[in-house]
Chains A and B, each alone.
Chain A
Amino acid sequence: MKQLRPLSITNGRLVTPQGVVEAPLRCVEGVIVEGDPQVGDDMVDARGQLVVPGLVDLGVFAIDKPAFHFGGITRAALMPDQSPPLDHPALVRFLAQSGKPDLWVHPLAAATQGLAGAQMAELALMRDAGARAVATGRKWIGDSGVMLRLLQYAAMLGMVVVSHAEDAGLAGNAAATAGEMATRLGLPSAPAGAEALAVARDIALAEMSGARLHLRQVTTRAGLELVRAAKARGVAVTAGVTPAHFMLSDLALGDYRTFARLSPPLRCEDDRQAVVEAIGDGTIDVVASGHDPRGPEDKRLPFADAAPGMAGAETLLAMTLTLVRDEEIDMPRAFDLLARNPARLLGVAAGVLAPGMEADLALLDPDTPWVVDSREMAAAAGNTPFDRQPVQGRVTMLWKGGVAIDR
C-alpha cells in the first residue's frame, strides 16, 4: 500500500536520538520529510503522546503480525530456524515479501546448510534475494574453522553475522543455568560460563576476520565484560538481549514454569544486574523480543522436555520502558535499542525519526497501565514469562511507510 496523502502528526513529542522534542512530523510518500504541516495533509493530533519510530525487532522465530502490531513493531528480522531452515534463496525471497505491506520481514540467512553448523549456505544468493544478515540460528557453530570461514565470507559480502553464544559442549541438553535453583529443582544445567566461552571465541574470530559480529543475546556478567573490552579495542561487535534477561533471574523457574524455559536459560541475579548495567553503559546495543510463540503442545510439558522460547513481541516495549522509568536509560536511548541500532545492523533506512527515513511510526502513551495476561494475548500463543505483571506504556497508533495500520 502506498501512502496517498501526506501525513502530519502535530502536538506530539518526538523521540529522536538528540532528545525528546516538541515538533510536528510530516511524511510524504512513505518517507519522513522536513517542513511544517500543510493544508490538505492528513492530520493526526498526538497531544500528550510520544511519537516514536516503529520498532525493529532483531531476531524473531515466527511472523506473528497481531503481536508485532500490538507491540509497535513494524520490521522484524526472522531467524533462520524455520521448517525448513532459511538456507535457500527462494525461501528468503518468499519470506522477505510475506509481511508486506504493513510489516516488513527481514529474513536472516542460515549460516550453514540446514543450520547443521558444517557446510556454509549460499550466502550471496540469499543476500541478493533479500537476506539482511546471516544467523547461526538457535545454536552456536561449534567448529571454529567453519565459523572463521563463515565470518570471512560474510565480511566480504558486507553481511553482519548474528551468533548464538553458548558453548555447545557445555550447554548440551541443559534447561537451566547451573546454580542453587537448578540444583533444587533437579534440572539438567550448564555453567553460565558456557556463554563467556562462546563470546570469547566468536570475538577472537571476528577480530581475525574483520567481520561484523552481532551476539544476539549476551546474558552474563562475564560475557558482557568480554564484549565491553572488545568494543574498547575497536572490534566490530555488537550485543543484544531480550527483556527476560534484564527483568528475570532463574528464581522465575520455581514451580517448573515452562514459560520461563528460555534459550539461553535465565541466569542468576548478579547476571541480571550486569545486563541492566550493560544496557545503561552502551555495551548492549539491541533489545529484541526473541518472539517465539509456543502452544501447549510445546509448553505444557515437564520443564526440561518443553521447548525453549517466549512470546515477547507484545511486551518488548513495555518491558524496555521499565528501564526508562527506573532511570537506567533515557527515552531516546530506549529507541536506539529498540529501533535505531537494529535498523543500522540490518542496513535499512528506518528506526529513527529523521528526514529521509522510512515513515515507520508509532504513537506511544508511555503511562497507560495494563496487565500482561497470557490468556489474552494478540500473539499466536500466550507463553509469556511476564504473566500477570502490571506494566506501563502502550502503542495507540502505528504506521508503516506513512500508512496507518488497522490494528
Chain B
Amino acid sequence: MTLPPNHSASHRFPAGGRAFPHRDLIAIGALERHEILYLLAEAEQYVEFNRQAAKHSDRLAGLTIINAFFENSTRTLLSFEIAGKRLGADVINMHAAQSSVKKGETLIDTAMTLNAMRADAIVIRHGSSGAVGLIASKVDCPVLNAGDGQHEHPTQALLDALALRHKLRELGHQAEDFTGLTVTICGDVLHSRVARSNMLCLQAMGATVRVCAPPSLMPAEVERVGVEVFHDFDAALHGADVVMMLRLQNERMDGQFIPSPREYRHLYGLSPERLALARPEAIVMHPGPMNRGVEIDSTVADLPGRSIITSQVEMGVAMRMACLDVLTRKARGVPGWGVAKGEWV
C-alpha cells in the first residue's frame, strides 16, 4: 500500500496549514479540539500502513530527526525512532548519558548545538517541566515533546485517544470523539505527565474524566482542570467505561508517598474483582511500563477483548508518524503549509 497524498484528512478540517497552525507539539493544553481530531485523523492512514509487510515510505526522505532524550526511555524512544525511519527520515538518537550534558553543558547550549546541526525536527524528553518548551524557543525547527518532567507527554495522550477510538469502533461506536464516555485515571497522578496530557486530551474530546489516587499522590486543585477527584478506587470505578492505570513513578518521588507497594495494591490495584465494578465491557489501558502485581494484576493486563495495552503501543508508532509528518510539512514545501516565513500562528 502506498500512502495517499499528503493532507489526506477530509474536508472537515481547515485547509492546509490552518488545520494545525503550530510549529511545535509541546502540550495538549495548547491545542484546540479540532486540532487534536485532525492529528488523529492523519494517524489513521499510518495505522493501516504499519500493518503491511513492507512498511517504508520516503515521505520524510532527506530530513534529519534528532531524538534528544535527557531521561531514560525505551518504548517512547523506540516508537519515535521507528516512526521516523518508516517515513524515510535519517533518525539520530542522542542519549543524555552519553552526551556533553554530563560534562556540564547547559541545556540551552545543547539546544543551540542541535540547532546548528540543522535538524529538521527534534524530539525531546527531559526531566524538568517546561524544559522542552524552553529548547523550542531557542531552535529553528519543529520540536516534539516526548515528555517534560511532570508537565505533559502529548503524543502519549494522542496515541491513547487513537487506541481508544479504534477499540470503540470495534465495539460498534462510530462517534469521532468521546462524548458521553467516563474515563477513570488511577495511580500516581501527582508525578504523571501522562495523566496531565490525558486529562486535557480526553476532556477536549468530550469525555468525563475521573482521577483517583491517595491524597499524597494527587496534585493540588486538580479539580480546577475539570476532572472529578476520587480517593476511593471502587467508587471511581463505578460506571466507568475506561480504566486507565498509571505506574507509581518511584524515580520522581521525593520522600515517602505510600507506605508500601503491597498496601498500594490493596487500595489501588486493578484486580479482576475491582474491574467488575466498572461498566461491563469496560476498557483497560496502561501507558506502560507496567508494574504487574502492583497497580495492575496480570490477569487484567492480559484480559482479551478488554485490555488494549498492546494496541496503545501499536498506535504509538502511527501517531508519532502523523506528528512528524504534519510538523515537517512546511520544511517539505507541502502546498498550503506555510511556505512564507512567519506563517505559523
Contact = CB atoms under 8 A, between A and B. Distances in A.
Interface of A: 172-173, 178-180, 182-189, 191, 255-256, 296-297, 300-305
B221 interface: yes
B250 interface: no
A302 B108 contact: no
B221 A180 contact: yes
Nearest to A297: B106
A187 to B, nearest CB: 5
A189 B218 CA distance: 12
A300 B111 CA distance: 12
Nearest to B197: A186
A287 to B, nearest CB: 29
A302 B129 contact: yes
Lowest 8 CB-CB distances: which A-B pairs, in order?
A: A256-B130, A302-B128, A186-B150, A186-B151, A178-B220, A302-B131, A183-B219, A180-B224
Contacts of A172: 254-255
Contact of A186 (B134, B152, B224): B152
A187 B129 contact: yes
B149 interface: yes
A189 B133 CA distance: 20
Contacts of B219: 178, 182-183
Nearest to A191: B220
A304 B149 contact: yes
A257 to B, nearest CB: 9
B286 interface: no
Contacts of B320: none
B108 A187 contact: no
A185 B225 contact: no
Interface string B69-110: 000000000000000000000000000000000000011100
Interface in B15-30: 29
Contact of A304 (B128, B193, B196, B224): B128
Contacts of B254: 172-173, 188
Given A256-B134, A301-B107, A302-B107, A186 B225 contact: no
Given A178-B220, A183-B221, A302 B134 contact: yes
Nearest to A256: B130
Nearest to A190: B220
A179 B220 contact: yes
A184 B225 contact: yes
Nearest to B189: A183
Contacts of A256: 129-130, 133-134
Nearest to A187: B129
14 contacts: A179-B220, A182-B220, A183-B221, A183-B222, A183-B225, A184-B29, A186-B149, A186-B196, A189-B220, A191-B220, A255-B133, A256-B130, A301-B107, A302-B134
Contacts of B131: 302, 305
A300 B128 contact: no
Interface of B: 29, 106-108, 126, 128-131, 133-134, 148-152, 193, 196, 219-222, 224-225, 254-255
Contacts of A255: 133
B108 A305 contact: no
B128 A303 contact: yes
A187 B150 contact: yes
Contacts of B220: 178-180, 182-183, 189, 191
A296 B106 CA distance: 10
Contacts of B134: 256, 300-302
A260 to B, nearest CB: 12
Nearest to A255: B133
Nearest to A305: B128
Given A179-B220, A302-B107, 12 more contacts: A173-B254, A180-B225, A183-B221, A185-B151, A186-B149, A255-B133, A256-B130, A296-B108, A300-B106, A301-B107, A302-B128, A302-B149
B108 A300 contact: yes
Contacts of A184: 29, 196, 225
B129 A185 contact: yes
Contacts of A305: 128, 131
B129 A179 contact: no
Contacts of B224: 180, 183
B129 A303 contact: yes
A185 B106 CA distance: 22
A300 B105 CA distance: 13
A170 B98 CA distance: 35
A200 B107 CA distance: 40
A187 B220 CA distance: 11
Contacts of A182: 219-220
User: Most chain-B CB neighbours within 10 Å: which of A179, A182, A188, A191?
Assistant: A188
Nearest to B149: A186
B130 A185 contact: yes
A356 to B, nearest CB: 52
Given A178-B221, A186-B152, A301 B106 contact: yes
A188 B257 CA distance: 14
A6 B175 CA distance: 86
B221 A179 contact: yes
B125 to A, nearest CB: 13
Contacts of B126: 302
B246 to A, nearest CB: 14
Nearest to B126: A302
B336 to A, nearest CB: 30
A374 to B, nearest CB: 15
Q: Which one of B129, B149, B221 has the highest number of Cβ atoms from chain A below 10 Å of its Cβ?
A: B129
Contacts of B129: 185-187, 256, 302-304
A305 B29 CA distance: 22
Contacts of B133: 255-256
B228 to A, nearest CB: 15
Nearest to B255: A172
Contacts of A300: 106, 108, 134
A172 B257 CA distance: 14
Which of A178, A184, A187, A296 has its CB near the most chain B CB atoms (within 10 A)?
A: A184
A173 B128 CA distance: 13
Nearest to B190: A183
A183 B149 CA distance: 12
A296 B193 CA distance: 27
Nearest to B133: A256
Contacts of B148: 186, 302
Contacts of A303: 128-130
B319 to A, nearest CB: 21
Nearest to B252: A188
Given A173-B254, A191-B220, A302-B130, A186 B107 contact: no
